[in-house]
Structure 1
């Protein structure tokens, strides 16, 4: 990734990467202001990112991505946005998933990841929606 003179091939298998996990959002919350839950990646991760009253945020996949980097390793809570490799040959797709649950609070520890979240909501989803955006670091053309 990100090596001069190399391009990430379009047929390289891709992985799911969680950029943000937020739970226990009050049903009355209708929107989040731009930047309200943090902006930019913070070395070693954001420890207490802001969010709607009562909400909690889990660790995103930058936690594992930077695990072996002495300067960046840490628990990455909150939103850390799109940052595809600048030498990737494809446009990346980012899905924002929202779930309406039968529960008002999930039984999860303070440090939870996407797998934990999926297990906790299983059997409790009333409705769901997804909005997909695209992004690339490569110039068009």
Structure 2
């Protein structure tokens, strides 16, 4: 399985539009055919270069197995029109919160998981809750890494 974006190549800098320095909207993402038996997808976007701990920017789960893309600017609502459910990021909000590193260049990992079931978690689940629910149900993963440094 491969994860891609029309606005970001692997290890490129994330355009400011998708960060706290711009419109702070989610980038468009797409992926190819998952393995047989996929019942849903989950997405985690995080920054392992953040001070003190990995900072979570987006948690999204129960994306239907028929979906192959997420459009730009996903609304920060509990449940998406496609049925996906949004968790809580480390800004304390539902949905996407863009890169906003305090200093230096940080890496942002967009990780997509193909799962053998729908998880049924309530809206607002954390990354840790999602990872616990996914344990033993991951059929495949795909990853796209972007970088960002604030222009001050």
TM-score by structure 1 length? 0.66
Of 111, 118, 143, 1:97 maps to 111
**1:102 and 1:84, CA in 2 relative to 1: closer, same or farther beyond 3 A?**
same
Aligned length: 104
Give the corresponding residue for 1:73.
none
* Structure 2 residue ranges without an equivalent (≥5): 1-49
* Structure 1 residue ranges without an equivalent (≥5): 1-11, 39-45, 64-75
- The answer on whether the counterparts of 2:79 and 2:123 sit within 8 Å (CA) in structure 1 is no
TM-score by structure 2 length? 0.61
Give the corresponding residue for 2:96.
79
**1:91 and 1:14, CA in 2 relative to 1: closer, same or farther beyond 3 A?**
farther
Larger Rg: 1
- The answer on whether the counterparts of 1:25 and 1:52 sit within 8 Å (CA) in structure 2 is no
- The answer on whether the counterparts of 1:107 and 1:120 sit within 8 Å (CA) in structure 2 is no
Structure 1 residues 29-84: Cα deviation after superposition (integer angstroms, max 9, x where no partner): 1111211x13xxxxxxx5x2663411100011101xxxxxxxxxxxx001111111
- The answer on whether the counterparts of 2:78 and 2:124 sit within 8 Å (CA) in structure 1 is no
- More strand by proportion, 1 or 2? 2
The residue correspondences of 1:98-113 to structure 2 (distance < 5 A) are: 98-103=112-117, 105-113=118-126
Tell me how far apart the structure 2 counterparts of residues 59 and 14 of structure 1 sit (CA, whole Å): 19
